Amino acid sequence: MKITPAARATHLATVGLGFTQIVGWGTTFLMPAVLGRHMQESLGLASEVIFAGITVMFTVGAVFSPRIGRVIDRTGARLIMATGSVLYALSLAALAFSQGLVSYLVCWAGLGVASTLALSTPSSIALAQVAGPGARRAIAMLAIIGGFASSVFWPVSGALDVAVGWRGTVLIYAAIHLFACAPVHLLVLPGKPPAHPLTAAAATAPTGVPAKSRSHAFLLLSLTLSSGAFVFTGAMVHMIELMRGLGHAAPTAVFLASLIGPSQVTVRLFELLFGHRYSIMNSAVFGSAMLVVGLALALLDGGSFVVALICIVSYGVANGLKAVQRATLPLALFGRGQFGAYMGRLALPQGIVSAAAPPVIAAVLSNWGTTSALLLVFAAATVSLISMILLARLAHTVR
């Protein structure tokens, strides 16, 4: 079977962006989990401050996302994402030489701007521009590749930390962004958004929601994604502690939490292979419902290993689907014309919620215990499900 130039460009962009996304997540969000203890000792900062860097990154990124999305719509993502890689390199290099609270958090603010330019939102916009009608499958593949970030970078960070220390490790990561990620962005992405011709069938088929319903649809989509982000970002950071709070021994809690990754990758692979056979709205409702069911079971009998296992798998499936749908739902609802603008606007509330979720859940855990924390995330998950059901009813014609 002959591969068309468009398909070749899509495959190249998917693999290249998959690599840069693994590096992007592995050297920022996932990095303190391994290097945090030594950073804390070296800088004389509390553990909460070390992890507050992630909160700063999400907050700063959220502020800049709407504008960047609109720019990518007009100019394409090539130069913007390459610039983001350079800024990653500069921020990480500066982090390697930080000496205290102010310099540490300023570096994380720089990483937040870099993430706005080169992490998940711009990568989804870029892939939608390159893949055109095949964007749903391409974004699902990108999500599968990105799901291996922790599997790659946690052991790499641990080995480098032993060999060269945390500062040396961060400098190596800066070099990877500068000498690997920036060239990849320049090589695999086009200089301007390609124009994809529509087939006759696609040209006459109804796409997205009607113009009069777009504001309502956007509000519901923003609400379901943001409330879901509270659960996924906040609970993920504290999942081991939540499992221990339900009565599981530390090794069992770690084992259960480790199953989230395989569950995410499995459902993303299923979405890639069979997603074209069912409506994206049905898939979105199913994922939101799985999250509510899993958390409800944890509240009812989370101390049981079997119940906790079902809860973790449900959580992983919901998270895996939502990671794909954060990009594919706006594409299906609003089309490719202003996809970057919509993605940027959606990233603002999601980024703010993602920044707030870990410290909020940590405070609830320490002051009111595991059950209260689970009730909080269950409430957020329920809001996400109700919003998704209302959105599915509004956009019932969307495939």
Tokens linked to 345: 């606007």
Q: Of 82, 4, 117, 161, which Cα lies nearest the Cα of 344? A: 117
pLDDT at position 212 over 90? no
pLDDT above 80 for 3: no
Global pTM?
A: 0.83
| Tally of CA atoms within 13 A in the half-sphere of 75 that contains its CB | 13
Of the two residues 294 and 208, the one the predictor is more confident about is: 294
Task: Please report, as a single letter, which amino acid is at residue 310.
Answer: I
Query: Which of the pair, 168 or 202, is modelled with greater confidence?
Result: 168
Give the residue among 286, 299, 285 at the shortest CA–CA distance from 376. Answer: 299
Q: Does the pLDDT at position 206 exceed 60?
A: no
Q: For residue 201, what pLDDT band results from cuts at 50, 70 and 90? A: very low
Whether the pLDDT of residue 198 is over 70: the answer is no
- pLDDT tens for 162-176 read 999 999 999 999 999
What would the mean pLDDT of 92-114 be, rounded to a whole number?
96
For residue 1, what pLDDT is reported?
Answer: 53
pLDDT, tens digit (0-9, with 9 covering 90-100), for 4-48: 888 888 999 999 999 999 999 999 988 887 898 899 999 999 887
Instruction: Categorize the per-residue pLDDT at 207 as very low, low, confident or very high, splitting at 50, 70 and 90.
Output: low
Q: Where do the domains of the chain lie, and which CATH numbers do they carry?
A: 5-188 (1.20.1250.20), 208-394 (1.20.1250.20)
Contact yes or no for 210/359 (Cβ under 8 A): no
What sign has the CA pseudo-torsion 350, 339, 318, 25?
negative
Helix residue spans in the chain (DSSP H) = 5-26, 32-43, 47-75, 78-96, 101-118, 120-131, 135-146, 149-176, 182-188, 200-204, 214-245, 250-258, 260-274, 280-301, 305-334, 339-368, 370-394
pLDDT at 200: 41
Residue appearing with tokens 């898939």: 283
Read off the pLDDT of each residue in 140-157 and give the average, rounded to a whole number: 84
Residue 2 clears pLDDT 80, i.e. is over it: no
pLDDT at residue 132, as a whole number: 81
* pLDDT for res 268: 83
Is pLDDT larger for residue 254 or for residue 181? Answer: 181
Tens digit of pLDDT for each residue in 302-312? 999 999 999 99
**pLDDT in the model for residue 204:** 38
How many CA atoms lie within 13 Å of 341's alpha carbon, on the beta-carbon side? 9
